Chain A
Amino acid sequence: MTFLGDVLVLARKDLLLELRSRDTVPAMLLFVVSTLVVFHFALPSDASATAQTGLLWVALLFTALLGLVRAFVAEREERILDGLVLAPCDRSAIWLGKVIGVMAFLVAAEVVALPAYALFFRPVGWELVAAVALADVGLAAVGTLLAAMAAAGRARELLLPLLFLPLVIPIVVGGVGASATDDPGRYLAFLGLYDAVFAILSWASFEYVVTE
């Protein structure tokens, strides 16, 4: 299956690049922990479980943004995207390869963020982990597509948050709902729905974002 082969080649390339330059993941790790500390000072002492959970999700959102802003930097600066787009492979493979890379970075950040959250605020249950896993798919899928769009314009660091935030509001609802209510199943199912709809849309439309 050459599509999957291309995806793996491209994903491997992104992970290799990050391993060499080590600039995105450490920044995301530090950012998410710093944000959690800031939230401690921002929350009143009698903050509810929902409020604390909510702020974790805000922290995760902005950490994801941090990683996504850098997603297509190399490809745009060196015009490497042109080289990739000219290759006979499916352009969506570029998208999926990048999504895998972004998800890897997110998971790396969450491996630190969730224990830190458990340490600073409250224990982390399986529902939260499941919600985070599902949310990562949606964040990466949509974020990668939007990052490619923003990379084509001016002021890309400003544009990406504006494009990203309205689209990921449902993820926050699903995530907070799954971890702070008695019926996580419904919210997890909703996250799954979001992932399915927007992953398919992103996969199908990436071609049009990177070509004319």
Chain B
Amino acid sequence: MNTSLRNNQNVVLAAAAGCLLLAGTALAFYWVPNAPIEGFRQRIFYFHVPIALTAYACFGWAAWKALRLLWTRERRYDLESYTAVHMGVIFGILTLVTGSIWARTSWGHWWVWGSRQLVLFLVLFLFYAAYFMLRYSVEPGPRRANMSAVYALFGVALIPISFLAIRLAEDLVHPVVFTHDVQSKLTGSQLLTFLVCLVGMLSLAGSLYVNELTGKRLDARLRELREALQ
């Protein structure tokens, strides 16, 4: 039982997340110079994009665990995949929120269909929300684990296809395409701030992931013991 290892892992991750995010926030708000075109409000970029990338990473991790489940049929991967999806959805919602704030400050609207990232995350949110509906409506067991894994794999296939679809849809409906004026190349200080925030967000996701996983595993153990005593 590697609980102690897990605990150490978690403490390290949580500490890393805390430090990095603190540093990142400080850098983002105080150190990095104003972006040339957007000005002060562009700083939310240092949160929004790392959060979005972290969400993708979580969904990718969930798909990897799902693949492992289907490959080895070992039950522990089900919980790991599920927790990763959970994290992904949390960060996905945060992406939508930060994206919406950025849209509001940049263009005056809380929602713009012309923003590819926003629309993509909306579709993904719907998709992964249905993941929870699926899990809720099927009895816990090997069948539910298999189905959840297949669905998680469909999710990662959907990400690029949806993105393509959204791009094609722009040509279709001719909306004004809203892209933020992010320079193609980040300058040294911008890059550093971005990386600090990115690693910070990933650590945060990792820490929450390990935390939740440990908690759920303890729950399961408790239930097993209770059953065995009956």
Where the two chains meet, the residues of A that have a C-beta atom closer than 8 Å to any C-beta of B are 50, 145, 149-150, 152-156, 159, 162-163, 165-167, 169-170, 173-174, 176-177, 180-181, 183, 186-187, 190, 193-194, 197-198, 201, 205, 208-209, 211-212
The one of A149, A166, A180 in contact with B172, judged by C-beta atoms closer than 8 angstroms, is A180
How far is it, in angstroms, between the C-alpha of A165 and the C-alpha of B130 when the chains are bound? 10
How many contacting A-B pairs (Cβ < 8 A)? 96
> Would you give the shortest CB distance from B70 to chain A, in whole angstroms?
5
User: Which chain B residues lie closer than 8 Å to A194 at the CB level?
Assistant: 161
Partner of B123, one of A159, A166, A187: A166
A170–B146 touching, CB < 8 Å = no
Does A173 contact B138, Cβ atoms closer than 8 Å? no
**Known interface pairs A167-B158, A173-B165, A208-B70. Does A154 touch B137 (Cβ–Cβ under 8 Å)?**
yes
- CB atoms of B158 and A166 under 8 A apart: yes
Are A149 and B127 neighbours in the complex by a CB distance under 8 Å? no
Determine whether B26 belongs to the interface, using a CB cutoff of 8 Å to chain A.
no
Q: Mark B111-136, 1 if CB is under 8 A from A, else 0.
A: 00000000000011011011001100
30 A-B contact pairs sorted by A residue (CB < 8 Å): A150-B137, A152-B147, A153-B134, A155-B137, A156-B137, A162-B129, A163-B133, A163-B134, A166-B158, A167-B154, A167-B158, A170-B162, A170-B165, A173-B169, A174-B165, A176-B172, A177-B168, A177-B169, A177-B171, A181-B171, A181-B172, A190-B164, A193-B161, A197-B157, A198-B157, A201-B153, A205-B153, A208-B70, A208-B150, A209-B147
Which residue of chain B has the shortest Cβ distance to A198 in the bound complex?
B157
- In the complex, whether B197 has a CB less than 8 A from a CB of chain A is no
